[in-house]
């Protein structure tokens, strides 16, 4: 079994679908409920760097703190944006998955299939009814 981590929000359908695809590959990941246990600043910076994105690209925009803090304005440094994310973890987009093959923001959830070391063990259908893995464990599309 390979070591994997998911930064998870159980209230989010995309996050739930991603977790179930990891489990469908035969792996039980470490689940970090990041709203309750946000990453440390260094850990957040490493995740962003490993994903090859900017702090702004990790910001969740449709949540209250985004508007309240005026984050739509492009006047903040990555360090400032990360500070806001640590103060308000709801601003961190999810789910983030770390596997031996890479770190990704899994939106849409099937992005996780690109970084899972093990194939899917069977078909997988997302909560909305979209089938993303066929009965042979192969990605559809």
Q: Which residues are catalytic?
A: 12
DSSP H helical segments within 25-92, as ranges? 41-51, 55-58, 64-68, 78-87
CA distance 3 to 78: 29
Of 82, 75, 138, 101, nearest to 5 (Cα)?
101
Q: How many CB atoms lie within 10 A of CB 98?
A: 21
CA distance 37 to 51: 20
Helix axis angle, 78-87 to 41-51, nearest 10° = 120
């Amino acid at each position: 079994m390979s070591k994997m981590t998911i930064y998870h929000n159980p209230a989010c359908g995309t996050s739930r679908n991603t977790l179930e695809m990891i489990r469908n590959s035969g792996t039980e990941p470490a689940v970090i409920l990041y709203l309750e246990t946000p990453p440390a600043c260094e850990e957040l910076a490493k995740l962003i760097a490993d994903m090859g994105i900017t702090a702004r690209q990790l910001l969740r925009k449709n949540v209250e703190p985004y508007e309240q803090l005026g984050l739509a304005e492009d006047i903040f440094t990555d360090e400032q944006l990360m500070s806001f994310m640590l103060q308000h973890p709801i601003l961190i987009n999810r789910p983030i998955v770390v596997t031996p093959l890479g770190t990704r923001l899994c939106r849409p959830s099937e992005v996780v299939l690109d970084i899972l070391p093990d194939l899917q063990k069977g078909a997988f259908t997302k909560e909305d009814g979209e089938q993303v893995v066929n009965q042979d464990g192969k990605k559809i599309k």
